Each structure stands twice: as structure tokens, then as C-alpha cells.
Amino acid sequence: MSMNTTFCPQLKIGAVCQQWRQIMWSNPRFWNIIHLRVTLESRLHLATVLKEWVFRSGELPLFFSTQYHQTFFDQPPPQLITQLHHLLLSIISTLNTCIHRWSLVNLSLPKSYMTMLRDQMSSASTYSGLKGLALSMTPDLDEDPRSRFPVWIFEGKFNTSLVLRPQELSLEGFLIRNVQVDAASLTSFKGMHMLVVDCLELVRRAPQLVDCDLEFLELNSHLTGPTPFPPAPILHTSIQRLRLADCPDEVLNYITFPELWSLIICNEGSEATLNELTAFIKRSECCLQSFDLRMGWLQGRDLLEFLKLTPALLDLDVCPVGDDFFEHLGRTTFTVRGSPGFLPQLQTFSYYGFRTFQWSSVPLLVPPTQPQDMAKRPLRNIVLQLNSDSDDILPGRDEPLGTAGVDIIDEASVRAISNIVNQGIRIQITDSLDLIDASMKHHGIL
């Protein structure tokens, strides 16, 4: 619920009549969900509203988001900096009174204000009631927002006397030494704009971790200088899902996840080698069931060779691939019973991006006949979500664009695709609209 008084349902309902107002004002469950967005237009009364809101929530667990929003070009003029400073101080003072009631928390504050969060307890203790904690820092009020580039890691700290033990944790821009969080109960972690070694250390401290999401990691920071890597890969036996987005290639060299079944890699500009990814999968000996790969360097024969390491794969999402991939997937649809085959358990194939294949390759994914005494791949879902927002001529375009700029499927291919759909196999091909439907109408088939 937002604390914007224009859209706040509590205030609107309370304004109906005195009886309704008494019901709303006296029920803490209407007040323990808070979303506070501080902008250049925010005024000091916002802090008073927050204090009253927290008071009305009684002793219930708090679910709140407090974010200072600053766009890339927004830098507060001098006359507003003092006002924003007092507003943030007052907000933090209120938050400090209720840290022991945090349940789901999302904090995004200027870096110097993050250090002011302090629980008012007299001695340190551990708080295990925290389900989720997300922390991110922005530049200070008197800093040009553009100064953040290319520096993303700040020296700001989050150290309360109350040691927080969240189940889910998201950190952006922190050094791990500056965050006082107990990872013993952690099941989900997202690290963004952090050091590789810091994220590895947190993973090591979290024996119950299941989901790990790492994005825009850095090898070194101006705050730390060169950082040593662990002498051997970290073995973690609970992580099941891993996402790596624009991370250094070295990350794969320092992790071993034998229980991993879902892997997403989105390093489109990476120079990562196939050997590192292959070594990680072999070293982990994991039974990968879901694989989402968006890396331009892994294509063609290299991709096909790598996928031989994932015979248990159920869902594959890959981009880009060409006609050779479609042809190979079609040729290996049937295998001799008892032989390993190529992706013999694959059920869903997805493709997102520019079209880099001929339309005639799509029907090859599902051959029309099944030889006797052969096992068939259970592929039942094919999703091709294309992006043609480009003035460039893309390889694979084999049919003139429709009058609305639609990438029309040629008649022979769309008829073959329609026949496959009639067999009960779900094929979805979209761009700005349903391309199967648009192509059939274009060719007068419907």
C-alpha cells in the first residue's frame, strides 16, 4: 500500500464516515504494509505520516519499502538538499524504532544515510523473524548521480546492533564486510554490483541457500584493490538454481553445485570460453533440467557439443541459433531405445531474440513420422519470441515483410507448422503479434 494520500485506500475508506474511520484507525492489520517513495518533490510531512503509520501498526510484523528515487539527471538543487536531509533523518529515526518488527523490507537510500540505521536495543542479539531484506545504495544528496558511473560499489555500511537473519537477501553496491547479516537461514540471495569474492564468501556462509542470482559482479574495487580468490572451488550442496548476468568469466571457475538443476547465463558481451562452462558442469556432476543461455559466443557445433552434457534437460531456452541447430534437433528426435540420444527428455524449446534461421527450419523440430522401435523426444512446447526492431537486414529473412512490417512466414512453412499444431503440439511464434495467425491470413489459409 502506498503512503501517497491521493491513492491510499486506508484514508479513502476512513473518510466515508466516523464508524468506518474508527474501524480503520484501530485495526493494526491495515497499517503494517508500507511503501514510501522519497523524491525531489517529497515534503517533511511525509515523515510525520510514516511515524503515525508505524504507530497504528501496533506490534505486527512490518512489510515495507522505503526508496529514495533519483533519476540519472536529477541532482537536488541546494535549496532542497537541506529539506531532503531532514526528511531522510526523520524517516530513518522512525525505522530505527521498529527494526525488530521487520518482515519483508526493501531499502534504497543514499549511502551515508544507510549507515544511520541503528536498532535501539541495548545489546546485540539475533533477529530471525526477517523473511526478506533488500538493500541498495544511491549517491549522496550532494553528489551528481552521474558520478556513480563507472563506480557501483560504495563504502556505505549496514550494521545494526540487532543481527538480522533473513531468509531472502538482495544486496546492491555493498562490500560484504559492511553488511551485518547472518546467512545461516538464507535460502535466496541476489548480489548486484558487488565483488565476486564477496558473493562467493556469502554463498559459503549460507548452507541452506537454494536460489543464487549474481549480476554485474566486479573482480576488484577502488575500495579494496586486488582481491584473492579461494584456493579451490566452493562446494555447495543445496543450491538448485543459479543465474549469472554480465559476470566475469572467473565466477564459473570457483563454484561447484552438484544439486543444480536450473542454470541461466546472460553474458551477452562476455568473452567466456566454452571450456569454463563445460568444466563447471562436469565438475558439479549436476542433473541439469532447465538451461537458459543467452550468449552469442556459444553457437553451432560448440553449443551442440555442450548440450550432450545435459541429457536430463527438460527446458531449453537459447539465443541465438541457426538452421543447423533446428536441423540437428529434428534429426535426433528419434533414438534407439536404451541409447543415450541427444536431449532425449526435452519437453520445451524456447528462443528469444532476432531471427537467425530460415522459417523452413521450424517444422524440422517435429518430424512427421516415427520409425518403429524408436524412442521419441517428448517435445510438446515450442516458443519463438522474435525481435525485429531493427533496420538491419537479418540473416534468415526468406519472405517479404507484410504491409504492417510483420515478418511473414512463407506459405509452405506455415502450413507445415499448422499441421504440427493440429497434432497437439503447442507452437507459439510471436513478434509484435501472433505470426502464425498473421501469416495464415496473409496467405489466405484462414
Span 101-134, pLDDT tens digits? 889 989 888 888 887 876 554 455 666 678 998 9
Rounded Cα distance between 179 and 111, Å, is 13
Amino acid in position 85: H
Length of the chain: 446
Q: What is the pLDDT of residues 202-214, one digit of tens each?
A: 999 999 999 999 9
CATH code given to domain 288-446:
3.80.10
Q: What is the pLDDT of residues 375-390, one digit of tens each?
A: 889 999 999 999 865 4
Query: Cell 537454494 sits at which residue?
Result: 210
pLDDT of the residue at 392: 40
Residues 319 and 352 sit within 8 Å (Cβ to Cβ): yes
Q: How far is CA 215 from CA 30, 106, 133, 212, 339, in A?
A: 36, 18, 17, 10, 39
pLDDT of the residue at 149: 46
pLDDT < 50 stretches in the chain: 1-7, 72, 121-122, 149-151, 271, 390-400, 403
H/E stretch holding 191: strand 188-192
Other beta carbons within 10 Å of 228: 6
Rounded Cα distance between 65 and 49, Å, is 15
pLDDT of the residue at 70: 63
Rounded Cα distance between 49 and 282, Å, is 56
What are the phi and psi torsion angles at 421 (to 5°)?
-60, -40
* Alpha helices (H) along 238-349: 274-284, 300-307, 323-331
Instruction: Give CA angle at 297 (203, 233), nearest 5°.
Output: 25
Residue 70, C-beta contacts closer than 8 angstroms, at least 6 positions apart:
39, 40, 138, 139, 145
Q: Where are the domains of the chain?
A: 1-182, 188-255+268-287, 288-446
Burial class of residue 133, CB neighbours in 10 A (0-12, 13-18, 19+): buried
Cell of 226: 586486488
What are the phi and psi torsion angles at 378 (to 5°)?
-85, 45
pLDDT of the residue at 390: 43
Rounded Cα distance between 37 and 69, Å, is 7
Q: How far is CA 2 from CA 10, 17, 31, 198, 409, in A?
A: 10, 22, 11, 34, 47
Amino acid in position 29: R
pLDDT of the residue at 396: 44
pLDDT of the residue at 309: 93
pTM, rounded to two decimals: 0.85
pLDDT of the residue at 404: 53
